[in-house]
Amino acid sequence: MTDTFSTLIVQAQDAPTARAIAAAFGPGGVNMWTTPLSATGQEPATHYISSGYIPEEFVSLAPCTTWEQDETGNWIASDIYPGDAATVYAYAEMGGLPISLVTIQGIFSRADCSPQEPFVHMGRMGLKIVQPAADV
């Protein structure tokens, strides 16, 4: 199996659960979604991002949308895959995680995942990395 590049952005409310699920899949899932994002680049974080190469078998479980820009620069979704929440739920259940299928479906419905490079992806969503407040 090969690894596939993916950028996955989840809403801040979903980040702890998404982290727990990813960590249950193995050591490669630990420390995902630790980079905070917001529209202003300041707290509070509204989203968290994780980006990099992911084993193909895990990428096939996550929702994914391919995006293209039209001639005027608008982003158009060209290929939408909703993910496989039922299989993720089964893995979570086997791992002893107290997470419902409805919760996973909710996370998937609010997530924005694509093969875009992280800064392109963040730009499309109007998000910036949250910078820590300067000590004065």
Q: pLDDT tens, 69-86? A: 999 999 999 899 999 999
| pLDDT at residue 29, rounded to an integer | 80
Contact criterion met (CB below 8 Å) for 118 and 7: yes
3-state secondary structure of 90: helix
Condensed to tens digits (0 to 9), the pLDDT of residues 83-95 reads 999 999 999 998 8
- CA nearest neighbour of 86 among 104, 69, 59, 71: 104
Quote the pTM value: 0.92
Main-chain phi, psi angles of 100, to 5 degrees: -85, 160
| pLDDT at residue 40, rounded to an integer | 97
Residue 41 is encoded by which pair of tokens? 């680049």
| pLDDT at residue 1, rounded to an integer | 65
| pLDDT at residue 136, rounded to an integer | 65
